[in-house]
Amino acid sequence: MTKSHSSASPITRRELLATTAGLASSCFLGGCQRASRSLATKVIIIGIDGMDPRLCRSMIKAGQLPNLAKMAASGGFSDLGTSCPPQSPVAWANFINGSGPGSHGIFDFIHRHPHTQCKPFYSGAETIPGEGGWEIGDYNLQLDFWPINHKPPDTELKRKGVPFWDYLDARKIDSTFYDLPSNYPPSPSEYGYHRCISGMGTPDMLGGYGTYQYFSEDTRAGGIEEGGGKRSQLKFDNGSAKAVLVGPENSMLKSPKPVQIEFEVHRDVESNAALLEFQGRKIMLKPGQWSRWTQVDFGLSTPELLPTQYVSGICRFYLQEIAPNFRLYVTPINIDPSAPAVQLSEPPDFIEDVSEQLGLFYTTGFQEDHKARTNGVFGDDEFLRQANIVLEERLALFEYAVNNYEDGLLFFYFSSSDLQSHMFWWNEEENAKHPSRSAPEARKHHEYVKKLYRRLDKIIGDINDRYGGNATIFVMSDHGFANFGRQFNLNSWLRDFGFLNTRECRSILVDCDWSRTQAYGLGINGLYLNLKGRERDGIVEPGEEQEQLTRKLIARLKAVRDFNGEKVIRNVYRADEIYSGNATQLAPDLIIGYARGYRASWETVLGELTPDVVTDNTAAWSADHCADALEVPGVLFCNKPYKLESPSLIDVAPSVLSEFGLDTPSTMNGSSIFRS
């Protein structure tokens, strides 16, 4: 097991390089020019989440992205059609299957089972409850061996269809994917030629997608549970305070409870420092300092006849302030890559091998803590600092990936361009007032995004220098970006037009009268008919009534205007017209394609209603891509000329297969970009 990192210091490039023990000096962080000598076919895909074609063109024209400009000139550059809707889990699944949502069954971040009448779950994966158990006192032990054969809880990958690497695997062609979205738990490799570390969709130890813990003196007694985090109050006595770190639930209990670990905080106001005593370790911090990764052992109690079970997580501590209000942030408890409690990679020991070389690193799917910024735990500068820590860590992983690459397919994913754009994007050319910043402030923060693009451009230049003559290189994104200044509450609109029960309804999850509800919204872009025979409490008759209601909803939604006459919804798509395949069972009936500058309101996503239908977006999350697919295409750069006009995400997989001499399989709707 990798040793814990318990000392603390400001994060520097030197320290990051020191964590890559056993590796050569990084060409991306300043150093070597190692390249594979293998003569076999090489294809490299750099996936840059949210990279926007408009901004790329603007910066290329200004001479700020010379390496991408070089790729565009020698090979090609175009918009890359995204998914409908243009949400990351949907888009990356399109990329994986070489086909649309009808093949993979992911239609939004949020899905529902019709028989539960809109109870939401994350679309990419779902935890299935266990069955059976051996009851001993307070415990219910599920024993999955013969002859008892209880069924423990299991997390199921919801993505359907055939991932394109399976075709490479069957031909004994190596493929390695780092931080791949829409692939948790990782799909298996039948022949052993595929390796992958899961990305977006991977949970933290608490089972969520990033739950920070925040300790301060000014938090109210009893603490606060908020979306994405937990706040706890600290009370100091003679400079010391006790705190509790909340860990995973002990699922062996009949009534599962989270494991809690006590730690102590000692502050010295005069020396402006704090000492954390945590599981026998001491961590010294000054304001503004981050600790290194710290391993946390969670003991899961068992009946007396069995030994205590332990699972390992990792976290980092960030001391924000000593006085007058002590403030301490703790990252979400990540699954320990050196000893993962659940499978994070294929094969399972792949991530352990990587951790043995790199040390500890983020494993949650969402690594930049946007919730801490949205909830005011972080300021802009603190969010940027944490996001840059993620980027530096990702670059160390990228170095590892390249240094261990010989041939076959290499895919590497960067998240920074997406999460930083959500917070700092502003396209002033659209003449839109920023929802939460003055124009000078918006320009200043948008420079962070441009700086990131310039840095990624240098990385791409290094890859082209090392492999450009011997590899086909793709740089791609799943979607672009747009301002997000106004938000639309779909359920409130349905209420106002009589499609959703007219009594006082705060949330369709809590107090909806389904006997008077014809349609409802759930997720970011989805609208569902309350269809009889499909939904648990359905009232809309299939057939003619269903068709008339569908047409009426489309016409009225496309006619929605804001107070200034601006069109709110660019288009409304029928699932039965745009999706085909064997995995359409959970699809919404209609997909709302918002006009640029608009998106579903925050309340809409989980079914809440608001008095007004269209309101200002005042959140720190001030830009988005969950609009109409035509508003936010991604990018495609390639160092090899291609012929296909208007390529789309579903065309990348067939293009990769064609580079290895494989025909486009019947499971794919896309085409190779290299063939006209």
Query: Cα–Cα distance between 489 and 605 in angstroms, integer?
Result: 9
Structure-token pair, residue 503: 């009594």
Residues 52 and 192 in one domain: yes
Q: What domain range is 94 assigned to?
A: 42-127+160-206+344-482+632-659
**Nearest of 85, 88, 125 to residue 107 by alpha carbon:** 85
Q: What is the mean pLDDT of residues 521-547?
A: 98
What letter does residue 242 receive in the DSSP assignment? E
Same domain flag for 466 and 541:
no
Q: How far apart are CA 549 and CA 326, in angstroms?
A: 56
Task: Give the amino acid at 243.
Answer: A
Q: Yes or no: say if 339 and 356 are a contact pair by the CB < 8 Å rule.
A: no
Residues 560 and 636 in one domain: no
Q: Where are the alpha helices (DSSP H) in 404-470?
A: 416-424, 439-467
Note whether 102 and 194 are same-domain residues: yes
The 10 Å CB-count burial string (b at 16+, else e) for 479-500 is bbbbbbbbbbbbbbbbbeeebb
Exposure string of 446-467, with b = 16+ CB inside 10 Å and e = fewer, is bebbbebbeebbebbbbbbebb
**pLDDT-derived band of residue 2, with 50, 70 and 90 as boundaries?**
very low
Query: Is pLDDT of 13 > 80?
Result: no
Q: What confidence category does residue 364 fall into, taking pLDDT thresholds of 50, 70 and 90? A: very high
49 and 192 in a single domain? The answer is yes
Confirm whether 54 is domain-assigned. Answer: yes
Phi, psi values for residue 387, rounded to 5°: -65, -35
Judgement on whether residues 78 and 122 belong to the same structural domain of the protein: yes
Q: Is the pLDDT of residue 65 over 50?
A: yes
Could you tell me what percentage of the chain is helix, strand and coil, using 3-state DSSP and rounding each to the nearest 5? 25, 30, 45
Q: Do both 73 and 199 map to the same domain?
A: yes
Q: What is the pLDDT of residues 188-203, one digit of tens each?
A: 999 999 999 999 999 9
Q: Which two tokens stand for residue 292?
A: 């290194």
Residue 20 within a domain: no
Tokens 């409802």 appear where? 520
Judge whether 669 and 100 are in contact, CB under 8 Å: yes
DSSP 81: B
Q: How many CB atoms lie within 10 A of CB 172?
A: 10
Task: Tell me, yes or no, whether 409 and 500 share the same domain.
Answer: no
Which amino acid, 477? S
Handedness of CA 242, 246, 247, 253 (dihedral sign): positive
Residue 18 lies in a domain: no
The chain-wide mean pLDDT, for the chain, equals 91
Q: Which tokens sit at 279?
A: 């599981």
Q: What is the pLDDT of residues 97-121, one digit of tens each?
A: 999 999 999 999 999 999 999 889 9
The answer on pLDDT for 143 being more than 90 is: no
Q: How far is CA 639 from the centre of its chain?
A: 28
| pLDDT tens column, 379-417 | 999 999 999 999 999 999 999 999 999 999 999 999 999
Mark which of 587, 609, 628 sits at the end of a domain: 628
Q: Is the pLDDT of residue 7 over 50?
A: no
What are the beta bridge partners of residue 590?
527, 574
6: number of Cβ within 10 Å: 19
pLDDT value at residue 14 = 30
Query: Does residue 242 sit within a domain?
Result: no
Measured distance CA(613)–CA(330) in Å, rounded: 37
Q: Model confidence over 615-659: pLDDT tens digits?
A: 999 999 999 999 999 999 999 999 999 999 999 999 999 999 999
Based on the fold, state whether residues 427 and 564 are members of the same structural domain. Answer: no
CA 616 → CA 153, 227, 596, distances in Å? Answer: 42, 20, 14
For residue 428, the domain's CATH number is 3.40.720.10
Residue 485: strand pairing partners = none
Give the confidence band of 146 by pLDDT, cuts at 50, 70, 90.
low
What is the arithmetic mean of pLDDT over 456-468? 94
Q: Tell me: the pLDDT tens digits for 288-331?
A: 999 999 999 998 888 877 777 889 999 999 999 999 999 999 99
pLDDT in tens, 488-527: 999 999 999 999 997 788 999 999 999 999 999 999 999 9
Q: How confident is the model at residue 26 (pLDDT cuts 50, 70, 90)?
A: very low
In this structure, is residue 29 part of a structural domain? no
Cβ(659)–Cβ(640) below 8 Å: no
468 and 384 both lie in a single domain: yes
**How confident is residue 18, by pLDDT bands cut at 50, 70 and 90?**
very low
Residue 131: the pLDDT is 76
State the pLDDT at residue 217.
97
Average pLDDT of span 13-20? 31
Residue 316 is assigned to a structural domain of this protein? no
Q: Percent of the chain having pLDDT more than 90?
A: 82
CB contact at 8 A, 183 and 125: no
Residues 6+ apart with CB under 8 A from 253: 138, 139, 140, 301
Share of the chain above pLDDT 70, in %: 93
Confidence label for 142 from pLDDT (cuts 50, 70 and 90): confident
Alpha helices by DSSP H, listed for 510-607, are: 544-558, 575-578, 602-605
**Model confidence over 264-279: pLDDT tens digits?**
999 999 999 999 999 9
Residue 145: per-residue pLDDT: 65
**pLDDT at position 5:** 34
Tokens linked to 553: 């909803």
Number of domains in the chain: 2
Task: Please check whether residues 462 and 519 belong to one and the same domain.
Answer: no
What span, in angstroms and rounded, lies between the C-alpha atoms of 34 and 606? Answer: 49
Q: Is residue 323 part of a domain?
A: no
User: Would 418 be classed as within a structural domain?
Assistant: yes
Axis-axis angle for helices 66-74, 439-467 (nearest 10): 50
Whole-structure pTM value: 0.92
Sequence-ordered strand ranges (E) for 495-589: 519-522, 526-529, 569-574
Instruction: Write the burial class of residue 383 (CB in 10 Å: 0-12 exposed, 13-18 middle, 19+ buried).
Output: buried
Domain check: are 470 and 571 in the same one?
A: no
